[in-house]
Copies of this chain bind each other. A is one copy, B any other.
Amino acid sequence: MEVTLNLENTSSKDISIMVDAFRASTSITLALGKFNEVIPTFTPEKAKKLAKEKNGILAGERMGKALEGFDMGNSPVEINELNTKLKTLILTTSNGTRILENMKSTVLIGCFINAKAVAKKSLILAKENNYNHIDVVMAGWKGNFAIEDFLASGEILYWIQKELCENHTIGEDFDISEYAQSAILASRDYKKLKEVIYNTKSSKRLKKLGYEKDIELSLKKNINNNVAIYNEGVLKLFK
């Protein structure tokens, strides 16, 4: 079993775990507790068209801000508080949804809130399909490194490593890349991790836009067992 970490593009043909910790991954993970499906969409125009066709809720942002004419922004707090009988969420975001398009592997969605769950499910999926490469892919910000994605990846990788060490039937021989190991090391001190993330430019931008509660929620570790799997353009709960 090979376990790696990359930015924006995956190096795996087997399994990729997409991590956009602020806020797409968290929104998707929570949305699948309410909706049957989340359809990530790459332009606001296509999102609007699809929402009509599917009779769905329309959510999305550009530069952190909610889009005009949309039901809501890309806010995990708003999605969590939503009361609706509709079954489809259409979501368009700056980073997270854009990079899904290019992934040729099976894609799961990971973040702080489901780190342990996505780690376990990625290994189950690997075992069932005889896959031997799990790549954790940071969405980043416009092609650049984003520390919240690095640290959320570190939390996911920590649980993958733990599972591989304790459960030898999964991956007799396993290799965790040095970059992945560095993310695990960086993510161990939760108090320092939160301090650092609260002071980034992304956090400051979200606070300015009034989304401070989204930061708090996105940083909670392992409070949710939902894992989204991406298939033919649609995200569903992986069971």
Residues of A within 8 A of B (CB): 145-147, 150-151, 178-179, 181-183, 185-189, 192-193, 196, 200
Contact = CB atoms under 8 A, between A and B. Distances in A.
B186 A147 contact: no
A151 B182 CA distance: 8
Contacts of A146: 178
Contacts of A145: 178-179, 182
Contact of A178 (B147, B182, B187, B193): B147
Contacts of A179: 145, 147
Contacts of A193: 185
A74 B25 CA distance: 47
A200 B178 contact: yes
Contact of A189 (B150, B181, B185, B196): B185
23 contacts: A145-B178, A145-B179, A146-B178, A147-B178, A147-B179, A147-B181, A147-B182, A150-B178, A150-B182, A151-B182, A151-B185, A178-B200, A181-B196, A182-B186, A185-B185, A185-B186, A185-B189, A185-B192, A185-B193, A185-B196, A188-B189, A188-B192, A189-B189
A181 B185 CA distance: 13
A225 B186 CA distance: 27
A114 to B, nearest CB: 22
Contacts of A196: 181, 185
Most B Cβ at <10 Å: residue of A181, A187, A189: A181
